[in-house]
Chains A and B, each alone.
Chain A
């Protein structure tokens, strides 16, 4: 066969492009370790809220949303008991309530139902997940 194209003669180019294509096919078809294909199946078969619950973690999502319902707009809060990643998610979901470290209107405590702090009263406890406390004198 007469080879006309420059790129066919460029073995270097051809070898890497073909290798790249083969790897692309293999990894496209292969289920990855993090189970992203299974995650996709789940996400496609559930509502938007369920998608957010699933990706946030159902317990945390339900807890934060129930706390948010009890917080007035523009309230300030501090949140305890979460690692940095989940704490950022909580801040995101709770906005426009704003996180303050000093003297917040509310304390949101994840994973500890018995938490007490002087000057704060229990507003509600969510089953097995956490508690919402309000500063004395704050209108709920």
Chain B
């Protein structure tokens, strides 16, 4: 019960933020969108609040967390009465075909299977403990982030410089449930389950229902995705945030509605709190945004939308990014100061290992992960379309981001490149799953919805 209250508190804070954004932008939410986007924005908000309290030297207790959630609920009450203005009227969907019913049944079974497997698991795998569970225990027992935490030694806590969102999410849940590392780990399956309908909703804005459903099914059943939904790793969370931000960005490129740009920038902003790799996606986002706005040859819009995106992004990410910059927090694995010419040349020489491990992810079918084979085949079979319409932007976005990841491997310092690639590449590919799903669907759904104004891009 206390766990459900913790989830509801995240949802409440999220809805408060979402309705505020909706009001400012005069944006109407579909019900699925409202509740699911509220959860993920709520995750960002609780991390943000806890980090601000650390900066201001305020200790957080269970009582304060509950008070904040109740206050948000009280503020929300009058909003709920008038919320009809922000919600699109629910329309009964057309009857599901037999194939769609099969897909829905499999999705329900998959969700149940993930819950069943996740329920008895405490936080226990290496990274879950070292990077997230341990930090959450420290934050909870210290009523917030301890003073000087980010300067602690590696032998006291691993990678204190890592972005703190996931430990802060776990800490928030602890405030409601008490220290219980078995129950707290259920926040990841909850995020997975909330993301699935949200992803469907986002894809549905582009594609026919059957395609959107099948895409969600594929995402939900990719072995690594469902595995990471059971354990507490930030990679799935980053994959979710980047997928949401990217899809809203594609919606923005298609419809040019400022609200989509705001949501995209907001989720890219929050992703900076999840993992350092997000910086690659953030750079590509701004690069592509400048390019697309530049092509419009509309100077007022260029300035207005670029400033809007920058403002929202910095509002969401600045406490962490500024703190990180001014405190000299440097990743121990990628440190330019320690790199040196010789090490860089050695990394360059060993860079073939990146491609070797990459092809293993594509063709090593032991994990039955034919997802990457499907992606590759789609790109080959639909090669004539990959530079048309939004597909071109998606291809550009994914390619530059992938290059960014490749470049990051060349700047690794502590261990040899083989160590990093073999340990991380399959997890890193998880960050791209949602993006590739969008691209594949875009290439195969020839009847995709094209609203007016689309051709302009």
Q: Which residues of A contact B (CB under 8 A)?
A: 5-8, 10, 12-13, 16-17, 19-21, 23-24, 26-28, 36, 40, 43-44, 48, 51-52, 55-56, 84-85, 88-89, 91-92, 95-96, 98-101
Contact = CB atoms under 8 A, between A and B. Distances in A.
B138 interface: yes
B147 to A, nearest CB: 14
B406 interface: no
Chain B contact surface mostly: helix
Interface stretch (B118-126, B250-258, B322-330, B348-356): B118-126
Interface of B: 97, 99, 102-103, 106, 109-110, 113, 116-117, 120-122, 124, 126, 129-130, 133-134, 137-138, 141, 153, 155-158, 182, 208, 210-211, 214, 217-218, 221, 223, 368, 370, 374, 377-378, 381, 444, 446-447
Nearest to A52: B122
B138 A95 contact: yes
Contacts of A19: 370
B445 to A, nearest CB: 8
Contacts of A24: 106, 110, 221
A90 to B, nearest CB: 10
A100 B156 contact: yes
A20 B107 CA distance: 13
Nearest to A76: B156
Given A92-B137, A96-B141, 11 more contacts: A6-B447, A17-B103, A17-B217, A23-B370, A40-B120, A55-B124, A84-B126, A91-B157, A92-B134, A95-B141, A100-B156
A6 B208 contact: yes
B96 to A, nearest CB: 12
30 contacts: A6-B208, A6-B446, A7-B210, A8-B99, A13-B444, A16-B374, A16-B377, A17-B103, A17-B218, A19-B370, A20-B217, A21-B102, A27-B223, A28-B113, A43-B120, A43-B121, A51-B120, A52-B122, A52-B124, A85-B126, A89-B129, A92-B129, A95-B134, A95-B137, A95-B138, A96-B141, A98-B156, A99-B155, A100-B156, A101-B155
Chain A contact surface mostly: helix
Contacts of B158: 88
A48 B117 CA distance: 15
B120 A12 contact: no
A33 B123 CA distance: 22
B270 to A, nearest CB: 26
Contact of B368 (A23, A51, A84, A95): A23
